[in-house]
Amino acid sequence: MKVIRVTVGRVVFAEDKDQARELRVRKLLPALEAGGKVVLDFRGVKYATQSFVHALVGEAIKRYGDEILARMEFRNCSKQLRSVIELVVDYSLSGFPERSMRAKAE
């Protein structure tokens, strides 16, 4: 089981997409590719933007579908962080219901 620590320093607010991308490309996707289980440990992170969580896990969920949730564990998440992760997982699996509106705008 691969444990990936998500650290943000003193601000407890994770918003740096570059850092999220780095973790995704260098650690998360290779670990999932190898077929094992992955733990994302958010100790020390209380809040995150949807953009950060999307940059971290969105591609993995899109690539592997909902079965990846059985191989991913989110550890030490605050309740605030959980709500953001749930939002990202939901739209990563089923998209936003915007197609009709986008068509209207076009």
Binding positions for other proteins, rule: CB under 8 A: 10-11, 13, 15-18, 21, 24, 39, 46-47, 49-51, 54-55, 58-59, 62, 66-67, 69-70, 72-80, 82-99, 101-102, 104-106
To other proteins, the closest distance from the beta carbon of 31 in angstroms equals 15
| Bridge partners for 41 per DSSP | 5, 75
Cβ 91 to other proteins, closest distance in Å? 7
Assess contact for 48 and 7: CB atoms under 8 A.
no
The amino acid sitting at 7 is T
Q: What does the alpha-carbon distance between residue 42 and residue 12 come to, in Å, rounded to a whole number? A: 10
**Residue number, 34 or 100, with CB nearest to other proteins:** 100
The residue (of 44 and 47) whose beta carbon lies closer to other proteins is: 47
**CA 78 from centroid of its chain's CA atoms:** 14
User: Min. distance of Cβ 76 from other proteins in angstroms?
Assistant: 8
SS3 call for 71: coil
Min CB(34)–other proteins separation in Å: 19
DSSP letter for 27, please: I
